Every structure is written in structure tokens, then in C-alpha cells.
Amino acid sequence: MGEDPAGILESLTKEMLIFTLITTVLFQWFVFLLNYGGLYTERTGLKGIGLTKIQGIDFAWAAAFLLAANLSLSGLAWLLAQVGLPMPGEIRFLIPSDSAGRVIWVFVSFTAGFCEEVAFRGYLMTRIRLIARSQSWLVPTVVSALVFGACHAYQGLPGFIVLSVYGAMFSLLYIHTGRLWPCIIAHSLQDLLAIIIPQ
């Protein structure tokens, strides 16, 4: 959460960026395999964390969530800017500008949506509840949101705050629907839109 996260990302060459994106994809699938291994060992399976057959309603939930979340987070980013914590806009340096890079970005978007939602919402939240032997979602939501924000700390303090709030919003969507697909679809689309909508 340094003062100039954009400076580091801006210095990435095209080759370094592609390497970073591919490494990110591989790492996230590795984390997914760890989560899956844990679920398999516990005999819970992916259904046990809300990853059941995808349905049309999942897309409707994802679209409604994206609209509401982006409006809310835009307001939060504006408020942070008013108190001297503007979003640095460094994410634009992670978006490839060539065709091959954009194809890789599609894989990054799906991977982030799928693997991060399984890890942060499906696995982490449910396991915190099991360990705490609690019926409440409060602690799992807060922990998951803060860990999600910390994993995006390369976006600086404003990014950490905004992404932690976004993580909490994803947690609420997961709790409300009891399903991971709305979160996965919304997360993937959010990342995918980065190559369409200028950052």
C-alpha cells in the first residue's frame, strides 16, 4: 500500500505484464486446487459452498449487483477523493493493449471471478463459520472482505478501502443467494469490462 502503486505498474514492459498475468492465472488455479482438496477431504464438495448448477437467475443477480455495486463504489471513491485519498487509477497499467494480451485478459477475468469467489466467499467464509461454530455471518464477512482488500493492496490505501467494501458486498450477495455463481459472474464481468471501459 505504498504511496505510488501506479509507478511500479507503469514500469512493466509488455513482456513483464504478460508474464505477470499468466503467473496470476496459474497461482489462482493453484489456490483453487487447494480449496478443492480441502473440500474433497472434508467430503463437502463444491455444492457445500454454494457452487451448484448455474441458472438463469444467477445472471440476473449478477447484473443487478454489478449496477448497484458500481454506483455505490463510485460514490465511495468520490468521498475518498474529497478527503485526500483519490484512487490512483493504476489498474489501467494492468490492461493489455494488444490482441494477444486481451485474450489473456479474458482468461484472467474468468479465473479471478471463479477462483477468488470460491476462495474468499465459498471457502473462507464457510470455514470461518465452522471453526467459530457460529450461525452469524458477521465475522466471516468482515474477515473475507479485509483479506480480499489486502490481496488488492497494490492499488494503494484507497484501493484497499474500496476493494474491502466491494468484498463485503460480494459476501452479502453470497449470503443472500446462497450461491456462488452470481458472485463469480459479477466478478468476472467486472474484470472483463476493464478492456472495454477506459480505466
DSSP assignment of 88-147: --GGGGGS--SHHHHHHHHHHHHHIIIIIIIIIIIIIIHHHHHHHT-S-SHHHHHHHHHH
What per-residue confidence (pLDDT) applies to 35? 97
**Residues 112/114/117/122 CA torsion (nearest 10 deg):** -150
Give the separation between CA 164 and CA 1, rounded to whole angstroms. Answer: 13
Number of structural domains in the chain: 1
All residues at 6 or more sequence positions from 7 whose CB lies less than 8 Å from its CB, including other chains: none
Q: Which residue has the cell 464438495?
A: 45
Indicate whether 95 belongs to any domain. yes
Indicate whether 191 belongs to any domain. yes
Mean pLDDT (10-residue bins), the chain, 199 residues: 60 85 96 96 94 97 97 96 85 81 93 97 96 93 96 86 97 97 97 80
Indicate whether 17 belongs to any domain. no
What 3-state DSSP class applies to 1? coil
DSSP string for residues in 168-195: HHHHHHHHHHS-SHHHHHHHHHHHHGGG
What per-residue confidence (pLDDT) applies to 127? 95
Indicate whether 36 belongs to any domain. no
Indicate whether 81 belongs to any domain. yes
**Residues 116/156/195/193 CA torsion (nearest 10 deg):** 60
Buried b (16+ CB within 10 A) or exposed e, 84-97: ebebbebbebbbbe
What per-residue confidence (pLDDT) applies to 5? 58
Indicate whether 18 belongs to any domain. no
Give the separation between CA 12 and CA 44, rounded to whole angstroms. Answer: 41
What per-residue confidence (pLDDT) applies to 114? 98
Indicate whether 135 belongs to any domain. yes
Indicate whether 70 belongs to any domain. yes
Domain that holds residue 118: 59-195
